[in-house]
Amino acid sequence: METKDIIRLDDVSKVYTIGDTEVRALDHASLCIKEGEFVSIIGPSGSGKSTMMNIIGCLDIADEGHYYLNGQPIESYSENDLARIRNKQIGFIFQNFNLIGNLTAEENVELPLIYQKVPKAQRQALVDQALVRVQLGKRKDHKPTELSGGQQQRVAIARAIATKPSLFLADEPTGNLDSATGEEIMKLFHELHDAGHTIVLITHDEEVAVQASRIIRIKDGHVKEVSR
């Protein structure tokens, strides 16, 4: 059975004006990502990869071209639809973890489920499952300052797992970690991929990028598929 496209960008451009200068962050970029794939998007700083992540994650919109999410053009979704997609269908994982400092690991993982109005008993089960999956079941009462960088990133991954998204979108998830801890986090992504999840990983690190099943390179807003 043919797998469906989750993400398709056709001839997408995004232009920013900085003073008198026009910067094409994306320049007629096209790509397709199918359900269940593990894809890395690699490029140097300023290449356009963060802009692409923002468009894929429905955090920004393209100036030209078309973005299809689950086969539907993005412009067909209402603002409420997009908010629901960001909250339920996409699991965001960021370089800086984006944890709330005065909340415990358990409370950080629970927060998006509260926004989704998931009943308390079901929330607790989802949170517990997610924290066990990232091997932090015994650290659930710890706040971010009481956790290492790798543990904080595991909490961030657990927070994404708990919402049961169809897509994990990770922006430089190993960027603030030492190499050994980064390898542990990548092992988690491989486990998620082996379980059937779709993963798009944005990185500037070649050693991280080559671990994906497919590599897409981006430079000066131009996209190039890399054959393996």
Identify whether the C-beta of residue 40 lies closer than 8 Å to the C-beta of residue 214. yes
161 token code pair = 């797992």
Retrieve residue 182's tokens.
């980064």
Whether 228 shows a pLDDT value over 80: the answer reads: no
CATH number at residue 56: 3.40.50.300
Residue 114 is assigned to a structural domain of this protein: yes
Q: How confident is the model at residue 224 (pLDDT cuts 50, 70, 90)?
A: confident
Q: Are 225 and 216 in contact (CB under 8 A)?
A: yes
At 222, is the pLDDT very low, low, confident or very high (cuts 50, 70, 90)?
A: very high
Give dist(CA 147, CA 150) in Å, integer: 8
pLDDT > 90 in the chain, percent: 80
List residues bridging with 180 in a β-sheet.
Answer: none
DSSP annotation of 98: -
Instruction: Note whether residue 27 is domain-resident.
Output: no
Burial 19-42 (b: 16+ CB within 10 A, else e): eeeeebbbbebebebebebbbbbb
Tens of pLDDT, residue by residue over 10-30, are 999 999 998 889 989 999 999
Kindly compute the dihedral angle of the four CA atoms of residues 198, 150, 43, 84, in this order, to the nearest 10 degrees: 40
Domain count, the chain: 1
Within a domain: residue 184? yes
Report if residue 12 sits inside a domain: no
Q: Is residue 176 part of a domain?
A: yes
Mean pLDDT of 129-158: 95
d(CA 131, CA 43) in angstroms, rounded, equals 32
- Per-residue pLDDT of 54-80, as tens digits, reads 999 999 999 999 999 988 999 898 999
Q: Is residue 67 part of a domain?
A: no
User: Residue 210 sits in which domain range?
Assistant: 37-62+79-226
User: Residue 98 CB: number of other CB atoms within 10 A?
Assistant: 13
In this prediction, residue 159 carries a pLDDT of 96
pLDDT at 143 over 60: yes
Task: Give the pLDDT band (50/70/90) at residue 87.
Answer: confident
- Coil, strand, or helix at residue 32? strand
Contact between 19 and 194 (Cβ < 8 Å): no
Give domain status of residue 213, yes or no. yes
Q: Do the domain assignments include residue 117?
A: yes
**Per-residue pLDDT tens for 169-197?**
999 999 989 999 999 999 999 999 999 99
- Mean pLDDT value of segment 142-169: 95
**Residue 2 reports pLDDT greater than 70:** no
For residue 1, what pLDDT band results from cuts at 50, 70 and 90? low
Token reading at 3 = 């797998």
CA dist., res. 69 & res. 84, Å (int): 13
Inter-residue contact 62 to 26 (CB < 8 Å): yes
User: Distance between CA 226 and CA 209 in Å, rounded?
Assistant: 11
